[in-house]
Structure 1
Amino acid sequence: MGYRIQENCQGIDWDAVYGILTSARMASHPLEKVRSAFENSYRTVFVFEGDLLLGFGRAISDGAYEAALYDVAVLPEYRGKGIGKLIVTKIQEGLPGMNTIFFAMPGVEKFYRSMGYAKMLTGMAKFARAEVMREKGFSD
């Protein structure tokens, strides 16, 4: 069976999204904020097998030359099957000619390197909940 790709938020089961984010240790905001973040994103990609949501991701952008990937996550039992790569590829297709950074859990750098991303030497962040993000390994 092939995968079905949806590039909008219409009819999405947000409880399923939140469940996948939780399984990936990425659920740090209430469900309604997660939904709002996706609905206000420049690009969204959801991947299904039948009616089962397997994974998703989103990008924010100025629509001209800068974009950032967020919330790329896949069901644990479907990881390592190319779904994450499919999600990132589909998002990137809608960001032609744009510089793209990503915000992902520590430890996934190898995955993004395999897709052509390089480590930034000057990347920094100011987190609203700095202590929580430090505990998760996002900052020193």
Structure 2
Amino acid sequence: MCYRIQENIDNIDWQEVCKVLREAGLTTHSTELTRKAFKNSYRVVFVFDNELLIGVGRAISDGAYQAAIYDIAVLPSYQGKKIGKLIVDEIHKGLQEINIILYASLGKEAFYNKIGYNKMLTGMAKFKNQNIMREKGFID
């Protein structure tokens, strides 16, 4: 299967982006906040099957030595078809020789480990709603 990859935010339907994030089980925000997050990112990747948005991902970076990957999401009906790996690989193309931290959804650790990521032992987080993140199992 040949998918179309877009690496900018031109003509993106933000309601569709929110739909992909929601259906993939990620936390969603308003369409405006989602647009702002992707607009302010260092790298963005959108994957389409014809005109259907099926996957998204983004990275923030200083462009020199640090980056973080967020919002890797694929519609459930397209999962298992290497689209998540395609998104990460496309993001990596713009992050050569840079340390990358990846914020994974619970239960997806094995996928990221398989493509070269390792669990950090020193990671720390400060969330705006610590109690919810603790309940969801993201923090101790």
TM-score by length of 2: 0.96
Residue 83 to residue 69, structure 1, CA distance change in 2 (3 Å): same
2:88 maps to a residue whose letter is: V
For residue 30 of structure 1, report the CA deviation from its aligned partner. 2.0
Shift of 1:24: 2.0
Task: Report what 2:37 is aligned to.
Answer: 37
Unaligned runs of 5+ in 2: none
Q: CA RMSD in A?
A: 1.0
Q: Does 1:48 align with 2:48?
A: yes
Instruction: Say whether the 8 Å CA contact 1:68–1:102 is kept in structure 2.
Output: yes
Provide the rounded CA distance (Å) in 2 between the counterparts of 1:94 and 1:120: 22
Normalised to the residue count of structure 1, the TM-score between the two structures is: 0.96
Percentage of matched positions with identical amino acids: 59
Deviations 1:1-37 (A, max 9, x none): 5100000011011111101111122134222111100
Please list the CA deviations of residues 61-110 of structure 1 after superposition, one character each: whole Å capped at 9, or x if unmatched.
01100000000000010000000000000001100100001112111111
Q: Which runs of 5+ in 1 are unaligned?
A: none
CA contact (8 A) 2:9 2:44 kept: yes
Q: Which residue of 2 aligns with 1:4?
A: 4
The count of corresponding residues between Structure 1 and Structure 2 is: 140
Secondary structure of 2:138 counterpart: coil
What amino acid is aligned across from residue 90 of structure 1 in structure 2? E
Q: Distance between the aligned counterparts of 2:52 and 2:119, measured in 1?
A: 33
